[in-house]
């Protein structure tokens, strides 16, 4: 399936396919087929009826446009779908039509269909997250000794390694992956409760039917129906929100480091990527743009879903009807953000020479903290701080590096010779635990989310 033009920056082709009309319709029909077969196994409906229902429950047998039009009048897609499914079954056997949707309610169909779609989406998101983590692992290892300017409030700060910066991204992505995996594991459950969530229509065989349907659909069977309790879905949506926020932070860093004035990173280019309609020289941070766009959309969608959780009694008035586009938007935006950062990270160019040059262009001002600690031992904290404020003024640094300026001051010469100040502007001498933190954040020994039980 091709992505609709209006959604071209907010989804990927695999996720667009999952939430396509035919895919959504087939998920609902899969529920109906599994329900019929399970009830036949338990001798609740005739096996012949179950076979016919399962056979005609194919999306290509139905008019999606008509179903969508009728959904607007019915308030739920399940009502026109069940009606159409009965008609299809009746064409094969009039008696079979009576057993379509036996003992279920409309929300059972729509909720289980949504969960089946989420299960497919979870596999795609996890696979892309593993690729992103692997790419970040490599980036950290390759740049564990790549020194660059640290930046606080967008201003130069003591040096760090690019390995540490990338490890920070990696650690956040790993934590986000673990949260999302846990949320999906909790949410991929069957919905089957009947009219009021008691399965009264199935008598004392309701639990057996539930277990059989869950097994057929490869979903977990929860303790009870959850019609108006949306906390599990909310956990998935919120985990996506946190993850996309972490991806957006990464995209923001990359786009800032790609600025021509900085020039420390470059996203991969190629035909039709990163160009401008009017400026041939441009190489825009397109992957970061797409990820950041997702990071703007998703928080609003998360808030929308949370407001939709306040649902009335045993069946919602409006909250349920608001959910499908909200959840679909969150999942697809999360997917396109991850995929964009996979592309950026796997093809990222690190300009180590420019990182070193930007560090040197500070004229040693980024080592003021190091110098303050050194001088405070002899001069006292306040005098040392005042001295360094004077020494790091722009007009002073135009005369030389910080170590050269300090070497000329009498109060410094009294306690330190030129040799003692020589290592002041050596970045490798002021990296603290950068390498250790990198390993802790993104070490290759880190455990990954376990595979979900089938």
Q: Lowest-pLDDT range, 144-148, 169-173, 256-260, 443-447?
A: 443-447
SS3 content of the chain, % helix, strand, coil (to 5): 65, 5, 30
Inter-residue contact 57 to 96 (CB < 8 Å): no
Mean pLDDT of all residues belonging to the chain: 93
- Residue 1 three-state SS: coil
User: Which pLDDT belongs to residue 278?
Assistant: 53
The residue extents of the domains of the chain are 105-189+226-362+434-454, 365-424
Q: How far apart are CA 24 and CA 67, in angstroms?
A: 12
Q: Which of 392, 377, 385 is nearest to 425 (CA)?
A: 392
Residue 444: the pLDDT is 52
pLDDT digits (tens, 9 = 90+) for 276-304: 445 445 578 999 999 999 999 999 999 99
Note the maximum CA span of the chain.
Answer: 105
Q: Is the pLDDT of residue 120 over 50?
A: yes
Place 176 in a pLDDT band, splitting at 50, 70 and 90. Answer: very high
Give the E-state strand segments of 341-380 in sequence order.
Answer: 349-350
pLDDT recorded at residue 445: 41
- Please answer whether residues 360 and 352 qualify as being in contact, where contact means their C-beta atoms are separated by less than 8 angstroms: no
Structural tokens at position 209:
């039917």
Reported confidence tier of residue 411, pLDDT bands at 50, 70, 90: confident
pLDDT digits (tens, 9 = 90+) for 236-267: 999 999 999 999 999 999 999 999 999 999 99
DSSP letters spanning 377-404: HHH-HHHHHHHHHHHTSHHHHTTS-HHH
Burial of 319 (0-12, 13-18, 19+ CB in 10 A): middle
Task: Tell me the mean pLDDT in the region 381-399.
Answer: 91
Question: Which one of 58, 315, 352, 356 is the catalytic residue?
Answer: 315
Any idea what the Cα angle at residue 278 is, between residues 274 and 283, rounded to 5°?
25
| Contact status, residue 227 vs residue 314, Cβ threshold 8 Å | yes
Compute the distance between CA of residue 4 and CA of residue 111 in angstroms, rounded to an integer.
25
pLDDT digits (tens, 9 = 90+) for 69-97: 999 999 999 999 999 999 999 999 999 99
335-343: average pLDDT: 98
Whether residue 422 lies in the annotated active site: no
SS (H, E, C) 296-314: HHHHHHHHHHHHHCCCCCC
How far is Cα 131 from Cα 101, in angstroms, rounded to an integer? Answer: 41
Q: Choosing from 4, 66, 69, 276, which is the catalytic residue?
A: 276
- 448: annotated active-site residue: no
Q: Is 2 within 8 Å of 14 (Cβ atoms)?
A: no
Instruction: Spell out the long-range contacts of 72-78 with Cβ–Cβ below 8 A and sequence spacing 24 or more.
Output: 75/321, 76/106, 76/107, 76/110, 76/321, 77/24, 77/28, 77/109, 77/110, 78/28, 78/106, 78/107, 78/108, 78/109, 78/110
- On whether the pTM is more than 0.95, the answer is no
Determine phi and psi for 167, rounding to 5 degrees: -65, -35
Query: Could you give the percent of the chain with pLDDT greater than 70?
Result: 94
Q: Is the pLDDT of residue 269 over 90?
A: no
Task: Specify the DSSP class assigned to residue 144.
Answer: T
Q: What is the CA radius of gyration of the chain?
A: 30
Confidence at residue 59, expressed as pLDDT on a 0 to 100 scale: 97
Nearest 5°: the CA angle 291, 297, 298 is: 90
Residue 156 predicted with pLDDT over 60:
yes
Residues 6+ apart with CB under 8 A from 234: 305, 306, 309
Per-residue pLDDT tens for 18-71?
A: 999 999 999 999 999 999 999 999 999 999 999 999 999 999 999 999 999 999
CATH number for the domain whose boundaries are 105-189+226-362+434-454: 1.20.200.10
Residue 422 — very low, low, confident or very high, per pLDDT cuts 50/70/90? confident
pLDDT score at 247: 98
d(CA 217, CA 232): 18
Average pLDDT estimate for 126-130 = 98
In this predicted structure, the answer to whether residue 454 has a pLDDT above a threshold of 50 is no
């Amino acid at each position: 399936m091709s992505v609709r033009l209006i959604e071209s920056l907010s989804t990927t082709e695999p996720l667009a396919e999952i939430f396509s009309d035919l895919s959504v319709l087939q998920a609902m029909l899969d529920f109906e087929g599994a329900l019929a077969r399970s009830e036949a196994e338990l001798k609740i409906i005739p096996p012949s009826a179950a076979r016919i229902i399962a056979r005609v429950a194919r999306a290509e047998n139905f008019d999606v446009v008509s179903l969508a039009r009728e959904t607007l009048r019915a308030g739920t897609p399940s009502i026109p779908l069940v009606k159409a499914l009965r008609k299809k079954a009746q064409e094969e056997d009039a008696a079979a039509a009576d057993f379509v949707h036996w003992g279920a309610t409309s929300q059972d169909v729509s909720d289980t269909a949504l969960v089946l779609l989420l299960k497919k989406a979870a596999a795609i998101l996890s696979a892309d997250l593993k690729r992103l983590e692997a790419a970040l692992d490599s980036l950290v290892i390759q740049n564990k000794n790549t020194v660059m300017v640290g930046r606080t409030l967008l201003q130069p700060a003591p040096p760090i390694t690019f390995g540490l910066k990338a490890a920070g991204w990696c650690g956040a992505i790993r934590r986000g992956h673990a949260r999302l995996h846990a949320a999906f594991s909790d949410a991929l459950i069957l919905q089957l409760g009947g009219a009021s969530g008691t399965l009264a229509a199935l008598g004392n065989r309701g639990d057996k039917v539930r277990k059989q349907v869950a097994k057929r659909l490869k979903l977990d069977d929860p303790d009870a129906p959850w019609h108006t309790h949306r906390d599990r879905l909310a956990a998935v949506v919120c985990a996506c929100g946190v993850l996309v926020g972490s991806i957006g932070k990464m995209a923001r860093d990359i786009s800032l480091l790609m600025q021509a004035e900085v020039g420390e990173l470059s996203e991969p280019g190629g035909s039709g990527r990163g160009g401008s309609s009017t400026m041939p020289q441009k190489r825009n941070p397109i992957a970061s743009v797409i990820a950041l766009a997702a990071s703007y959309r998703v928080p609003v969608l998360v808030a929308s879903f949370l407001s939709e959780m306040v649902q009335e009694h045993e069946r919602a008035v409006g909250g349920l009807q608001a959910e499908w586009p909200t959840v679909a938007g969150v999942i697809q935006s999360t997917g396109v953000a991850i995929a964009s950062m996979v592309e950026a990270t796997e093809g990222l160019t690190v300009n180590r020479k420019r990182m070193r040059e930007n560090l040197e262009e500070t004229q040693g001002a980024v080592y003021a903290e190091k110098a303050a600690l050194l001088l405070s031992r002899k001069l006292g904290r306040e005098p040392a701080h005042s001295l360094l404020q004077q020494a790091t003024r722009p007009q002073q640094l135009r005369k030389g590096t910080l170590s050269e300026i300090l070497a000329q001051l009498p109060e410094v010469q009294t306690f330190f010779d030129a040799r003692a100040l020589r290592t002041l502007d050596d970045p490798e001498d002021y990296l603290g635990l950068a390498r250790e933190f990198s390993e802790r954040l993104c070490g290759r020994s880190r455990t990954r989310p376990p595979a979900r039980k089938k």
